């Protein structure tokens, strides 16, 4: 005769994996941001399209901001802040590009 255990062992649930495209975007953005910091000369030419001197300062600033935004995308809880930060940076980049193309001293 077998004795019935009133508390059978419970199986631990499989760890939750987050395969969201936004998480992958976060890794991508983090890697891009870090690359700005490790090899800034590769990004200076692109940065110079929309920003005047000192271009290197802008390159490093974007490296820091893109790394931070990428990290925000890695967790579901912080993704809304990451989305807001990306939207803000895209608006800033668009404004800077247009302003740069118009030239200094033109605010129309």
Whether the model pTM is above 0.85: no
Kindly report the number of other CB atoms within 10 A of residue 73's CB atom: 25
* Cα separation values, 20 from 28, 76, 78, Å: 13, 9, 14
Residues 39-93: tens digit of each pLDDT: 999 999 999 988 888 999 999 999 999 999 999 999 999 999 999 999 999 999 9
- Spans of all domains in the chain: 21-101
The H or E element spanning position 71 is helix 55-73
């Amino acid at each position: 005769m077998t004795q019935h255990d009133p508390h059978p062992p419970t199986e631990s649930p499989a760890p939750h994996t987050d395969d969201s495209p936004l998480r992958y975007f976060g890794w991508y953005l983090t890697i891009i941001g870090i690359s700005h910091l490790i090899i800034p000369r590769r990004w200076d030419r692109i940065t110079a399209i929309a920003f005047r001197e000192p271009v290197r300062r802008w390159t490093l600033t974007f490296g820091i901001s893109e790394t931070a935004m990428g990290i925000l995308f890695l967790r579901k809880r912080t993704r809304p802040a990451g989305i807001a930060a990306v939207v803000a940076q895209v608006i800033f980049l668009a404004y800077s590009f247009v302003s740069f193309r118009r030239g200094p001293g033109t605010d129309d």
